[in-house]
Chains A and B, each alone.
Chain A
């Protein structure tokens, strides 16, 4: 690989739940270099104790999200040349989540909220029943399909100012997941999930700032999913819970 002479100015946040600060590093610039490559270079060559999280390196697992120059990004698919700014490269752990160490955020609250939003499938059939025929053109399937490619990276959660203001808010990813299930005809948890997404941490917290859709690396639109949940909740209220 061609190696250019330049050195990237990189600031990396280091610390833990008790606090920390930015440390400065010089990283050799390379062609087709991702932000994750930069973090890995620092860990392998300068700071063996630097903690960060990654797995697949191809944008499928959702492990490597970090704040890059103030914006949440999947670092394995973010090219340095796309984000390198006047201040160089500033890398920090994901916003709105506690820090475990350095760039590794504690994702427990994020996944707890998936559970709180009833983000799990409630089976309506057993293995002995015939398979449910699903038309790909059915409107509720089209709505679900538009939202199912979430990789749980928490980029939307870090981008959301409503989560910042209200730590009890489930956040875009959990509600987006709930929306896909509310549109799944095989799911038997509609009512219990509707109660969950209409609760105090639910969809009515959303101010439709659309930061989640702006930053979703898979170009999903959680704002539209949450708007859909608001419509279902309004319909449920107007019909005394009879409508589905």
Chain B
């Protein structure tokens, strides 16, 4: 009848984002390794693929990947700090900082990809 309101808490959402970004990266990695493998097995196919990636839609998708990666990285550092450093009541601040840093890094990637 009523959903679980505790799931709307900021640090709970930070944990969810950390988990979902990890799953996203896990789905991406096999494709990433397959393309890397083309460098050994089929360089012509790799060149064709790299030429195909040289457009804005792919850059935008790559920005999404960088966002996932940085969300997972900074979210992971947040959890390490939470569990291994003395407790601080500012966990929501750290979660917001991790998210802000991730957005900052991915925007930086997007701007540099365009230049």
Contacts and interface: CB of A to CB of B under 8 A. Distances in A.
A210 B9 contact: yes
Interface stretch (B36-44, B57-65, B83-91): B83-91
Given A227-B82, A230-B83, A210 B91 contact: yes
Contacts of A71: 5-6
Interface SS of chain A: mixed
Interface residues of B, number: 17
Contacts of B6: 71, 159, 161, 209, 211, 214-215
Contacts of B87: 221, 224, 227
A127 interface: no
B15 interface: yes
A90 B83 contact: no
B83 A231 contact: yes
A3 interface: no
Nearest to B12: A209
Interface in B1-57: 1-7, 9, 11-12, 15
B79 interface: yes
Contact of B2 (A69, A161, A223): A69
Given A209-B12, A210-B11, A231 B84 contact: yes
Contact of A210 (B1, B4, B5, B12): B12
13 contacts: A69-B2, A161-B4, A161-B7, A161-B12, A207-B15, A208-B15, A208-B83, A209-B9, A209-B12, A214-B6, A214-B9, A215-B6, A227-B82
Interface of A: 11, 22, 69-71, 87, 90, 95, 159, 161, 207-211, 214-215, 221, 223-224, 227, 230-231, 234
